[in-house]
């Protein structure tokens, strides 16, 4: 059933009433990210990108601390919390799309369905 819903969402209009990207555009965006990454970093390996995700998440924390007036590790705001969070998403889209051949949105949708179901999260942990 998850696949059926995902397919329906992907066939909808690309932008909603507020101008935000819809699900069909997320897949297109992920493909664009992967294409850019392959062109820019053809020799990259999955573990390099996983480590880059950790570094980018650190930049989110640094930006948050900077915005709160706390000394961050770098002392710089960078692109701000939103910009740094976007970097994290780009890196994760790259990792999932380039090396796993999967759609990050579908994985998030599946995980969220588990989290929204009472007791399912604990059951899925025991099965792992």
Per-residue buried b or exposed e for 9-18, using 16+ beta carbons within 10 Å of the residue's own CB: bbeeeeeeee
Q: Is residue 65 part of a domain?
A: yes
In the chain, the number of structural domains is: 1
Task: Check residue 1 and give its pLDDT.
Answer: 43
- For the stretch 30-66, pLDDT in tens is 999 999 999 999 999 999 999 999 999 999 988 888 8
- 15, part of any domain: no
For 72, the domain range is 26-127
Question: In sequence order, what are the residues at sequence separation of 6 or more whose Cβ sits closer than 8 angstroms to the Cβ of residue 110?
Answer: 2
Q: Which residues touch 72 (CB under 8 Å, ≥6 apart)?
A: 61, 62, 63, 65, 66
Q: Residue 5 falls within a domain, yes or no?
A: no
Q: Which residues pair with 21 in a beta bridge?
A: 15
CATH code where residue 79 lies: 1.10.287
Question: pTM for this one?
Answer: 0.69
In-domain check, residue 7: no
**Nearest one of 85, 46, 34 to 63, comparing CA atoms:** 85
Position 26 scores a pLDDT of 64
Q: Compute CA distances 14 → 10, 23, 24, 40, whole Å.
A: 8, 7, 6, 27
Work out the pLDDT band at 104, boundaries 50, 70, 90: confident
Q: Is residue 103 part of a domain?
A: yes
Among 2-16, 32-46, 69-83, where is mean pLDDT lowest? 2-16
């Amino acid at each position: 059933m998850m696949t059926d819903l995902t397919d329906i969402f992907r066939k909808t209009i690309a932008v909603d009433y507020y101008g935000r990207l819809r699900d069909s555009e997320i897949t297109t965006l992920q493909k664009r990210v992967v294409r850019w990454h392959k062109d820019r970093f053809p020799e990259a390996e999955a573990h390099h990108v996983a480590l880059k995700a950790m570094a980018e998440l650190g930049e989110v924390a640094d930006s948050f601390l900077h915005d709160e007036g706390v000394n961050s590790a770098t002392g710089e705001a960078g692109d701000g919390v939103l910009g740094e969070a976007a970097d994290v998403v780009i890196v994760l889209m790259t990792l999932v799309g380039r090396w796993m051949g999967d759609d990050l949105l579908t994985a998030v949708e599946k995980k969220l369905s588990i989290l929204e179901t009472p007791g399912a999260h604990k059951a899925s942990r025991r099965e792992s």
